[in-house]
Amino acid sequence: MSKLFSLLLVALLTGAHTAGACTVCRPKVQAAIHNQHYAANALLMLLPVLLLIGGGLLLYFSSSFPSLYWKPTLLRPAAPTALR
């Protein structure tokens, strides 16, 4: 039964139209992407991501990073009187 199903599937796929890229419009698309504005477009588009990556790295390697969200003094062992 499974062999019959596989053969049927192959037969259907063989008869199907192949997926084709847009051969007609490709040169126009390439010309519209890789034009004199390419570098400016790329820079503007990636600006928010670059800022976020830069800010994240700056924060991560900053020595004061842990103190922004965590106070080490809270983690000191309780005083002996508090344990009694």
Partner 1 sequence: MGAGMGGFVDGILLHQILQWHNMLSGKMPPNNLVDAKVNMYWDGIFHAAVWIMTALGLRLLWGAGAQTDVPWSGRTFFGGLLIGWGLFNVVEGTIDHEILSLHHVYEYTGNHLPADLAFLGFGVLLLLSGWGFIRAGQADSIRLRVS
79 touches partner 1 by CB under 8 A: no
Which amino acid appears at position 77 of this protein? P
Q: At 64, list the tokens.
A: 């004061």
Site for partner 1 in 38-77 (CB under 8 A): 41-42, 44-49, 51-53, 55-57, 60, 66, 69-72, 74-75, 77
**What is the spatial distance between Cα 36 and Cα 73, in angstroms, rounded to a whole number?**
57
Q: At 42, list the tokens.
A: 């790329």
Q: Under the rule (CB under 8 A), what is the footprint of partner 1? A: 22, 25, 28-29, 32-33, 41-42, 44-49, 51-53, 55-57, 60, 66, 69-72, 74-75, 77-78
